[in-house]
Amino acid sequence: QVHLVQSGAEVKNPGASLKVSCKASGYSFSDYYIHWVRQAPGQGLEWVGWVNPDSGGTRYAEKFQGRVTMTRDTSTKTAYMELSRLRSDDTAVYYCARSHVVVTLDVWGQGTLVTVSS
Amino acid sequence: DIQMTQSPSSLSASVGDRVTITCQASQGISNYLNWYQQKPGTAPKLLIYDASNLETGVPSRFSGSGSGTDFTFTISSLQPEDIGTYYCQEYDKSPFTFGPGTKVDLK
């Protein structure tokens, strides 16, 4: 079975950095992009960016450029999203999801709740 | 960025009703549109891709149509397990915007 399993909930202070992990199983990790999508409390879905597990290449939404870094470790089939200079409006559930060539997200992780508060 | 709108923002319907949701893109996106279902406290689930293709394992009561700027999502006979929020998403251009969602509940 195909699964994406994310790391646990985090509480961070404003200005801090965050690193969330997403471990893949049940498929060839290198064959699918890993995307990160976030959802603020009671709000809709917002695409953050993707990492290509094969090449390590990345693409980020312009809104997050300069604050986000997406990486992967092919030996452990794990993707990571790091977000720096956290603000209170970064409080959200962060999901990882996979896609093949186009951005059709067919498998999702369970989500990681990130709370930014002093 | 491409803007996505959905209507209605919420609806109440009875079991067995036909439910229709529309999604409009601010510019033409061909058929580069997906539909997702999200139940409270869970991750979204892909239902329809390429505007009209049913994802494997998704019941046939769900369907999608449209191209260009105007799209429709239909539940032919609403079931209790269909309660949740439905999102369209364009994948023509970054940042691959999602619509604001349509919340469906039972009357």
Residues linked to residue B35 through DSSP beta bridges, in sequence order: B48, B88
Report residue B23 CA to chain centroid gap: 7
A87 lies within 8 A of chain B by CB: no
pLDDT for the residue A101 = 83
User: How many CB atoms neighbour CB B27 within 10 A?
Assistant: 12
Cβ separation A108–B44 shorter than 8 A: yes
pLDDT for the residue B61 = 98
Nearest C-alpha in A relative to B54: A106
Give the tens place of pLDDT for each residue, B35-83.
Answer: 999 999 999 999 999 999 999 999 999 999 999 999 999 999 999 999 9
Task: Please list every residue in chain A whose beta carbon sits closer than 8 Å to the beta carbon of residue B96.
Answer: 47, 103
User: What is the residue-wise DSSP string for A84-102?
Assistant: -S--GGG-EEEEEEEESSS
Whether the ω angle into residue B100 lies within 30 degrees of 0, i.e. cis, is no
Backbone φ and ψ of B81, nearest 5°: -75, -5
Nearby residues of B86 by Cβ (< 8 Å), 6 or more positions away:
B6, B21, B35, B36, B37, B38, B47, B73, B101, B102, B104
Give the tens place of pLDDT for each residue, A85-108.
Answer: 999 999 999 999 999 988 999 999
Nearby residues of B41 by Cβ (< 8 Å), 6 or more positions away:
none
Cβ separation B43–A47 shorter than 8 A: no
Tell me the percentage of chain A whose pLDDT exceeds 90.
98
Give the tens place of pLDDT for each residue, A37-67.
Answer: 999 999 999 999 999 999 999 999 999 999 9
Nearby residues of A15 by Cβ (< 8 Å), 6 or more positions away:
A85, A86
Token couple for B93 = 């251009």
pLDDT-derived band of residue B102, with 50, 70 and 90 as boundaries?
A: very high
Nearest C-alpha in B relative to A39: B43
Cβ separation A59–B94 shorter than 8 A: yes
Cβ separation A44–B36 shorter than 8 A: no
- The Cα of A117 is separated from the nearest Cα of chain B by a number of Å equal to 21
A110 lies within 8 A of chain B by CB: yes
Cβ separation B96–A106 shorter than 8 A: no
Query: What does the DSSP 8-state code read for residue B82?
Result: G
Give the total residue count for chain A. 118
Cβ separation A111–B32 shorter than 8 A: no
Size of interface A-B (CB pairs under 8 A): 54
Looking at chain A from residue 23 to 42, which residues have their Cβ under 8 Å from any Cβ of chain B? 37
- Helix H, strand E, coil C: the string for A101-113 is CCCCCCEECCCEE
Task: Please list every residue in chain A whose beta carbon sits closer than 8 Å to the beta carbon of residue B97.
Answer: 47
